[in-house]
Structure 1
Amino acid sequence: MPALRVPSADALLGRVPLLGRVLAAMLILCGGLLALVESRAGILRNGTEIRLKTVPVDPRNLFRGDYVVLAYPISTVEPAAGEGAFRRGDAVFVTLTRDAEGFAQATGASRTRPVTSGGDLVIAGRVQSTGACGLNAAGEADCATGRRRLRVAYGLESYFVPQGQGRRIETTPKAALDVVAAVSATGEAAIKRLLIDGKLVYAEPPY
Structure 2
Amino acid sequence: MNNGKKLVLSALLLALVQVGFLGWMIVGRAAVLRDGREVLLKVEPVDPRDLLRGDYVILNYDISRLPLSMIADIGEVRHDLVPTHSVTVRLRREEDGYWRAGGAWLKTPPNPAGADEVDIVGQVPSLNLAHVDGEVRVTYGIERFYVPEGEGRAIERDMRVRPFGVRAAVSSSGTAQVKALMDGENMLFEEPLY
| TM-score computed with the length of structure 2 as normaliser | 0.81
Aligned pairs for 1:127-206 (under 5 A) are 127-128=124-125, 148-174=134-160, 175-206=162-193
Name the SS for the 1:54 alignment partner: strand
**1:198 CA drift (Å):** 1.9
**1:167 CA drift (Å):** 3.7
For residues 141-192 of structure 1, give each alpha carbon's deviation from its aligned partner in whole angstroms, at most 9, with x where no partner exists. Answer: xxxxx96122100001111223333343132224422100000000000000
**1:118 CA drift (Å):** 3.4
**1:80 CA drift (Å):** 2.7
Q: What is aligned with 1:20?
A: 9
Give unmatched runs, 5+ long, in structure 1. Answer: 1-11, 132-145
Give unmatched runs, 5+ long, in structure 2. Answer: none
Q: Answer yes or no: is the 8 Å Cα contact 1:176–1:196 preserved in 2.
A: yes
Shift of the 203–74 alpha-carbon distance from structure 1 to 2, 3 Å rule, reads same
Q: What is aligned with 1:137?
A: none
Shift of the 129–176 alpha-carbon distance from structure 1 to 2, 3 Å rule, reads farther
- AA matched with 1:156: I
Identity over aligned residues, as a percent?
34
1:31 aligns with 2:16: no
Q: What is aligned with 1:52?
A: 41
| Equivalent of 1:107 in 102, 106, 123 | 102
Q: Answer yes or no: is the 8 Å Cα contact 2:163–2:184 preserved in 1.
A: yes
- AA matched with 1:117: G
1:63 aligns with 2:48: yes
- Measured in 2, the distance between the counterparts of 1:167 and 1:149 equals 29
- Measured in 2, the distance between the counterparts of 1:88 and 1:204 equals 32
**1:16 CA drift (Å):** 4.4
Name the SS for the 1:55 alignment partner: strand
- Relative to its length, the structure with more helix (as a share) is 2
1:118 aligns with 2:115: yes
Q: Answer yes or no: is the 8 Å Cα contact 1:176–1:197 preserved in 2.
A: yes
- Measured in 2, the distance between the counterparts of 1:103 and 1:188 equals 18
- Measured in 1, the distance between the counterparts of 2:136 and 2:19 equals 37
Bigger Rg, structure 1 or 2: 1
For residues 10-60 of structure 1, give each alpha carbon's deviation from its aligned partner in whole angstroms, at most 9, with x where no partner exists. Answer: xx9957432222221111101000000000000000000000101254xxx
